[in-house]
Structure 1
Amino acid sequence: MAFGPEGSSATLPEGAAKATIAAGCFWGVEHMYRKAFDGKGLIDARVGYIGGDTQNPSYRAVCTGRTGHAEALQVIYDPEKLKYRELIEFLYRMHDPTTKDRQGPDTGSQYRSGIFFHDEEQEKIAKEVTDKVQQEWWKKGKVVTEILPAGQWWDAETYHQLYLDKNPGGYECPSHFLRPFPPLSS
């Protein structure tokens, strides 16, 4: 099932929720989230752009770093099967949130770490998890993940969707891997 960009006529499935995150090159982020949560409450995941001020941005424009947009992932999930907190904890396991505007060799504001919340509850959870992650997992560096209201979402071009499924030997950021952190304290 696919969903459309914010403001389109497409609607969320009944009972579904949306989470939007950024963690560097969106190909690997999408691939890792699908692999981890397929069959566990993930309904769909789309790569796209958020956080900037350019209308209807293209990949080429976002890659310049001048649009203000981040390469991002929007996850549609069933909150009865998958909790927002799990999605945010996974974000902090799968990328390095201590590098400003960088993941591995990818540099620029389009590769920043971010959580774009859709309501007050998501904002609260994102801030709580980020505080715990700083204290328990990423003690040696300052977590620089932005926590911002989700603004306009723009789907990336079709060829970017499921990119690593279509191109199994395609580029994967070397900083995208699951860290074996212990569970966060309650």
Structure 2
Amino acid sequence: MAIRPYSITLLAIIGAGALASALVVPAGSSSAAGSIPPPPAEKVAPEGDQVAVLAGGCFWGIERLFEHVRGVKSVTSGYAGGTRATANYADVSSGRTRHAEAVRIVYDPARISYGRLLQIYFSVAHDPTQLNRQTPDVGPSYRSAIFPQNAAQRAVAQTYIAKLTRTGAFTRPIVTTLESGRFYPAEAYHQDFMRKNPDHPYIVRWDMPKLAAFRKEYPGLYRN
């Protein structure tokens, strides 16, 4: 894809030269990406591979970032929150399907906890204070949302959001929602998009900085 659909409309309205400056939105305002409080400790680590489903804007960059996390076994881009019938890029992009662009993360809880995944998600993967958008991407399909896969995950997410709010980790309110709904894989051309297209303008502008921030703030969790 040469350019995401929202950009085609904006280019026609404001012109290519003004696009970058017009779309810059301040990120979350923790003093440093890794400075947000740690997640709550899990009382009992689950056994066997586990699944986390997270939404935070365009899935291209989030997919690639979590592929670099130690303990993560696989990451799939897709859609969560709506029905199977509307789980396709054209429908989801309309903003009328209840789907969010999301990633399905399979991880080993003996190597990384669900709470630690959430810490990465909140601190470097996206800005949890942007409502129904993420940087240049606008609409409910780009919302900040967590899809807990069980009651334990929901409890960890609720407790962590409350802690981040209580400690003032961000200067603006956290708008991340906890939702339910099935996950559906996205089209094949979306899978591993960042790995296959590292020089794509969108990837360079919006996703490479997130990966660099993760590597800097969490060197012990980063893997090539």
If the length of structure 2 is used for normalisation, what is the TM-score?
0.68
Task: Tell me the SS of whatever aligns to 1:117.
Answer: coil
Report the Cα offset of residue 53 of structure 1.
3.7
Paired with 2:192 and 2:89, the residues of 1 have a C-alpha distance of 15
Aligned to 1:61: 91
Q: Residue deviations 1:116-159, cap 9 Å, x none?
A: 0011110010011111222335431010001123x221100011
Q: Give the length in aligned residue pairs.
A: 165
| Aligned amino acid, residue 130 of structure 1 | I
The answer on 1:174 being equivalent to 2:190 is no
Aligned to 1:7: none
Aligned-pair Cα RMSD in Å: 2.2
Q: Answer whether contact 2:78 2:104 (CA < 8 A) is retained.
A: yes
Report the Cα offset of residue 57 of structure 1.
1.7
Report the Cα offset of residue 60 of structure 1.
1.3
Paired with 2:147 and 2:159, the residues of 1 have a C-alpha distance of 14
The answer on 1:163 being equivalent to 2:163 is no
Question: Which of 52, 58, 63 matches 1:30?
Answer: 63
Task: Tell me the SS of whatever aligns to 1:74.
Answer: strand
The answer on 1:152 being equivalent to 2:152 is no
Q: Residue deviations 1:12-51, cap 9 Å, x none?
A: xx8110000000000011111112x1xx211110000001
Task: Tell me the SS of whatever aligns to 1:174.
Answer: helix
Change (3 A) 1:138 1:53: farther
Paired with 2:168 and 2:64, the residues of 1 have a C-alpha distance of 23
Aligned to 1:76: 106
Q: Answer whether contact 1:57 1:154 (CA < 8 A) is retained.
A: yes
Q: Answer whether contact 1:56 1:154 (CA < 8 A) is retained.
A: no
Change (3 A) 1:139 1:166: closer
Unaligned runs of 5+ in 1: 1-13, 182-186
Task: Tell me the SS of whatever aligns to 2:101.
Answer: strand
The answer on 1:19 being equivalent to 2:52 is yes
Q: Answer whether contact 1:92 1:133 (CA < 8 A) is retained.
A: no
The answer on 1:131 being equivalent to 2:140 is no
Larger gyration radius, structure 1 or structure 2:
2
Task: Tell me the SS of whatever aligns to 1:93.
Answer: helix
Q: Answer whether contact 1:54 1:67 (CA < 8 A) is retained.
A: no
Aligned to 1:99: 130
Task: Tell me the SS of whatever aligns to 2:194.
Answer: helix
Q: Answer whether contact 2:84 2:184 (CA < 8 A) is retained.
A: no
